[in-house]
Structure 1
């Protein structure tokens, strides 16, 4: 069993007074999707090229990230070249692929794959999850300004909406959504996007390490993604100056300032 974050990370000084925010832009054009993601710890881009059926090229841009190792995740992302654009999500994320990649970049590439079928449309997903010291936490996902998901979560369990009530956000939600839920395809996409927003709440709640990673932190995160892989984590360094607070300035998301 992995230790809890409270066992090895100090609480962030401003926890309880802000908002976890993330924005994702998906912009389609003939044979190409330009995707971008920004939140308090990450600013990334992904350009995906395709022939209408399969991925023909993928380029990752790491602009703001957690570890000095993260840009190296551009290499395993190349395994997406040649796979069908409509590969089921449970297959795309099978066989340890998320652990071999930067999970945020892989998510962005997956969304770009899905967006390829939407032509020249531009979609912007926006996540907002206000800090809560106690009681249920509310998280919303908007698409082009309209709220499409509105969750209440208490002690890592979704309380509402009714279609998701009782599901845990700390494990098994992706499998349930993609294999058991029976929910519409677009709603599954929305739920997976908002779920990752709740995952990012920890980056607001706790002070992320800068410099050499503390031993307790290394033990807790070893193997979760490319940068924290067992064969790399001993050389991993938490980068300074990568954090941003968009609590009061959501309009600055996706500007990469």
Structure 2
């Protein structure tokens, strides 16, 4: 947890993300919204096999993002819920749709809804504080300076990509939460990059990192109008589902 001197990311300008994972009878739906995306994935399953994949993308930042809905379907449909081979296809997918589908597969057979809420402050003199709530419970505060952990002490000096050994020591629920926070903390860095309407994907993307940034497609991608929102200055993400994120 943070020390008293740490800034409160909930009170500072910065990145916001909310995720809802909702298991049902033979079906799981996961939804996220953040500064750049609003997406939903629903998996249907029979026993251990995925029998249906549907997705929606009310908001995606690039003109090529919508095509990723067919890719996530092809990646997961007909696979076992625990088929790890799908990981090889992550970079071919919209990574956010892929993560939502993975949440669905991982929570199949459960009965309780799971929510995540993330706050990440914009850097101030290289200092970033990021916070995660799971089901309304305050689970993590991480502080980074110039891209390296200051706290928690167990991670001091490491980068966000250098904590896999620590993740391996966690129970499955905590591991999932930590990975959610790590990925959100990485995505938050986009707030510091100017991405005007009409910008080419090739002007910013690292080739091969996601569906939009695949060779050829990256040259076609254009930044959509109003692709970014600042939820630290307005109602939070998934505002139409805000009651799910109320805290005691």
The answer to whether residue 220 in structure 2 is matched with residue 235 in structure 1 is yes
Matched, 1:158 2:149: yes
| Contact 1:177-1:188 at 8 Å conserved across structures | no
Aligned residue-pair number: 230
1:11 is matched with none
Q: Cα deviation per residue 1:7-60 (whole Å; 9 max; x = unaligned)? A: xxxxxxxxxx61210000111110011111000110101111112422221111
Instruction: Report the equivalent of 1:69.
Output: 64
- Deviation (angstroms), 1:163: 3.8
| Alignment partner of 1:203 out of 190, 198, 201 | 190
Aligned in 2, Cα 1:110/1:248: closer, same or farther, shift over 3 Å? same
User: Structure 1's 254 and 167: CA in aligned 2 closer, same or farther, altered over 3 A?
Assistant: farther
Q: For the residues of structure 2 that align with 1:164 and 1:82, how far apart are their CA atoms?
A: 39
- With normalisation by structure 2, the TM-score equals 0.83
Structure 2, unaligned runs of 5 or more: 1-11, 242-248
CA contact under 8 A between 1:37 and 1:254: conserved in structure 2?
no
Does residue 60 in structure 1 map to residue 60 in structure 2?
A: no
Tell me the distance in 1 between the aligned counterparts of 2:18 and 2:109: 21
User: Which position in structure 1 is the counterpart of 2:179?
Assistant: 192
238 and 248 in structure 1: CA distance in 2 versus 1, 3 angstrom threshold: closer
Gaps of 5+ in 1: 1-16
Structure 2 partner of 1:22: 17
Query: What is the RMSD of the two structures over their aligned residues, measured on CA atoms?
Result: 2.3
1:149 aligns with 2:117: no
What is the CA distance between 1:255 and its match in structure 2? 3.0
